[in-house]
Structure 1
Amino acid sequence: MFGHDRNSLRRYYLTVWKKTEAGLPLEPLEHLIADVIRQHPEYHALLESTEAILDRDYLPEMGQTNPFLHMGMHIAMQEQLGSDRPHGIHNVYQKICRRAGDTHTAEHLMMECLGETLWEAQRSGSEPDERLYLQRLRKLLGRL
């Protein structure tokens, strides 16, 4: 949707949050983004700040979490669950939710598996391995 321009994507988050705060009508994707933002009050002040945040780097080696990446992972998770792709993820998600106690915690746990799968795909220059991703999720379920 936004290509590889992180500033456009980040600006979209800012716009959605401004529209949400102003009570303006939202498109379906904007509703999804607004819901994810609502679940993360720790990012609200950031999204209300100036556009200077568009160029900010968040370095994991410095202990920083990229709020845009984090929220994007939640959105990706919602899209996977809505389409049940990879096939069977919705069923695994429901089980993880029951064991984790709530959907938000379940998504955070699952996002670790997703992140690892995406990192491996990026490192090898290949598509994410859906089979391996589901294996990781099932292994996670077994640890809960």
Structure 2
Amino acid sequence: MFTPSSHDVRRFFCDALRKQRNNEILTPMDAIAADWIVQHPEYHDQLGDVDAAIARDYSVEGGQANPFLHLSMHLSIAEQVSVDQPRGIKAAHDLLVAKRGEHDAHHEIMECLGEMIWASQRNGVPPDTEAYIECVRLRAAR
């Protein structure tokens, strides 16, 4: 299993933006990342300097959103939907997209994903994927 460090993740997103800006060849994962990066221009300055990106602290106390976490969640959701894993995420995603559009749907799914991860870590139990899918379905029903 591949377990990238936070520095690896930051380099990946910075490189995807650099490649996209320079019209370089993108891997399929670079292309997906670049598509999400383009939709978040508020992160472009932070992604433009890989050394500063690696050195920066995005602690909760700092009060600033972590662009690498946010973009990683976009990638995670895109991957989940592409393989329908956990089972049912694609249908729930598609319902939410029909109501909110792709980007806003992803942001709502992130809330559900974050809740699932938080509950899993807090309670020391495996992630409850059924609750996750139900959370997305409920948001689509609103």
Return the TM-score normalized by structure 1. Answer: 0.89
- Note if contact 2:32-2:75 (Cα within 8 Å) is conserved in structure 1: yes
| Residue 119 (1) aligns with residue 118 (2) | yes
Q: Paired residue for 1:92?
A: 92
CA contact (8 A) 1:16 1:33 kept: yes
Q: What letter corresponds to residue 26 of structure 2 in structure 1?
A: L
| CA distances 1:88-130 after superposition (whole Å, capped 9, x unpaired) | 1111111111222x11001101110001101122223333211
- Partner Cα separation in structure 1 for residue 80 and residue 65 of structure 2: 22
Change (3 A) 1:138 1:61: farther
Q: Which residue of 2 aligns with 1:59?
A: 59
Partner Cα separation in structure 2 for residue 10 and residue 62 of structure 1: 18
1:16: Cα distance to partner?
Answer: 1.5
Counting only pairs closer than 5 Å after superposition, residues 1-144 of structure 1 correspond to structure 2 as 3-100=3-100, 102-142=101-141, 144=142
CA 1:92 to 1:25, structure 2 compared with 1: closer, same or farther past 3 Å? Answer: same
**Ranges in structure 2 where 5+ consecutive residues have no aligned partner:** none
For structure 1, the residue ranges without an aligned partner over 5 or more in a row are: none
**Identity between Structure 1 and Structure 2 (%):** 38
Alpha-carbon deviation of 1:139? Answer: 2.0
Distance 2:117 2:14 in 1: 25
TM-score normalised by the chain length of structure 2? 0.91
Count of aligned residue pairs for this structure pair: 142
Moved runs in structure 1, 4+ residues, more than 4 A? none
Q: Is the 8 Å Cα contact of residues 58 and 65 (structure 2) preserved in structure 1? A: yes
Q: Distance in 2 between matches of 1:67 and 1:84?
A: 25
